[in-house]
Structure 1
Amino acid sequence: MFAREFDDIALSDLQALVEEGIPEGRQLEFKRDHYGRKDEDRREFAADVSAMANAVGGYLVIGLDERNGIASDVSGVATPDPDGLVRAVSDTIRTSFEPPILEFRVKWIAIEGERGVLVIKMARSWSAPPRVNRRQGLSLFHPRRKRKASDVSRRVAASVSICIRGRREDQTL
Structure 2
Amino acid sequence: MTLRHISLDAITEADLQRLIQDQVVEKRDIDYKAATYGSRDQDYGEFLADVSSFANTAGGEIVIGMTEQAGVPTGLSPLQNDPDAEILRLENCARSGLQPRIFGFAVRAVPVAAGGHVLVLRIPRSYNQPHRIIRQGSGNHRFFARSSAGKYEPNVDELRALFTRVPQLADRIRDFRFDRIAKIIGGDTPVPLMGTRPIILHVAPLSAFEGTQSFCLDINQAPAQFFTAFPPIGTQVGDFRINVDGALVLSNRGADGRTHRAYVQAFHNGIVEAVDSTFAMGEGTSRNPFRLTSLRTEATIVRASHSYMQSLQARDAPPPYVLLVSLIGVRGLPYSFAMGPNTLFEDEAGTLDRDQFHFTELLIEDVPVDPYEYAKLLRPLLDQIANAAGRARTPSFDPAGRFTVRI
TM-score where L is the length of structure 2: 0.40
Counterpart-to-counterpart distance in 2, 1:37 and 1:112: 28
Counterpart-to-counterpart distance in 2, 1:160 and 1:68: 31
Higher relative contact order at CA 8 Å, sep ≥6: structure 1 or structure 2?
A: 1
Distance 1:134 1:9, change over 3 A: closer
Structure 1: runs of 5 or more not aligned: none
**How many angstroms does 1:167 deviate by?**
2.4
Choose which of 8, 31, 34 in structure 1 pairs with 2:10.
8
Could you say which residue in structure 1 is the equivalent of 2:404?
none
Alignment of 1:123-138 (within 5 A): 123-135=124-136, 137=138, 138=140
Could you say which residue in structure 1 is the equivalent of 2:67?
65
Alignment of 1:1-173 (within 5 A): 1-2=2-3, 3-79=5-81, 81-111=82-112, 115-135=116-136, 137=138, 138-152=140-154, 159-172=160-173, 173=175
Structure 2: runs of 5 or more not aligned: 176-407
Matching residue's letter, 1:37: S
Counterpart-to-counterpart distance in 2, 1:29 and 1:146: 10
* Range moving further from structure 2, 130-139 or 21-30: 130-139
Q: Are the equivalent residues in 2 in contact too, given 1:53–1:122 (CA < 8 A)? A: yes
Q: Are the equivalent residues in 1 in contact too, given 2:29–2:59 (CA < 8 A)? A: yes
Counterpart-to-counterpart distance in 2, 1:117 and 1:53: 21
Misfit runs of 4+, over 6 Å: none
Counterpart-to-counterpart distance in 1, 2:35 and 2:124: 23
* Range moving further from structure 2, 137-146 or 51-60: 137-146
Distance 1:132 1:156, change over 3 A: farther
Identity of aligned residues (%): 28
Distance 1:100 1:134, change over 3 A: same
* Range moving further from structure 2, 70-79 or 44-53: 70-79
Q: Are the equivalent residues in 2 in contact too, given 1:129–1:157 (CA < 8 A)? A: no
Distance 1:92 1:49, change over 3 A: same
**How many angstroms does 1:96 deviate by?**
1.0
**How many angstroms does 1:157 deviate by?**
6.1
Q: Deviations over 1:53-112 (max 9, x none)?
A: 001100010011111111111112220x11111111111111111111111110011225
Q: Are the equivalent residues in 2 in contact too, given 1:94–1:102 (CA < 8 A)? A: no
Matching residue's letter, 1:20: D
User: Alpha carbon RMSD of aligned pairs, Å?
Assistant: 1.9
- Any idea what SS the aligned residue of 2:36 has? coil
**How many angstroms does 1:51 deviate by?**
0.2
**How many angstroms does 1:134 deviate by?**
4.4
Q: Are the equivalent residues in 1 in contact too, given 2:96–2:135 (CA < 8 A)? A: no
Matching residue's letter, 2:79: V
Counterpart-to-counterpart distance in 1, 2:164 and 2:109: 37
**How many angstroms does 1:160 deviate by?**
2.3
Larger helix proportion, structure 1 or 2? 1
Counterpart-to-counterpart distance in 2, 1:63 and 1:147: 20
Q: Are the equivalent residues in 2 in contact too, given 1:63–1:116 (CA < 8 A)? A: yes
- Any idea what SS the aligned residue of 2:112 has? strand
Q: Are the equivalent residues in 1 in contact too, given 2:83–2:109 (CA < 8 A)? A: yes
Counterpart-to-counterpart distance in 2, 1:157 and 1:114: 44
Counterpart-to-counterpart distance in 1, 2:84 and 2:97: 20
Q: Are the equivalent residues in 1 in contact too, given 2:30–2:62 (CA < 8 A)? A: yes
Q: Are the equivalent residues in 2 in contact too, given 1:78–1:115 (CA < 8 A)? A: yes
Q: Are the equivalent residues in 2 in contact too, given 1:32–1:62 (CA < 8 A)? A: yes
* Range moving further from structure 2, 130-139 or 64-73: 130-139
TM-score where L is the length of structure 1: 0.90
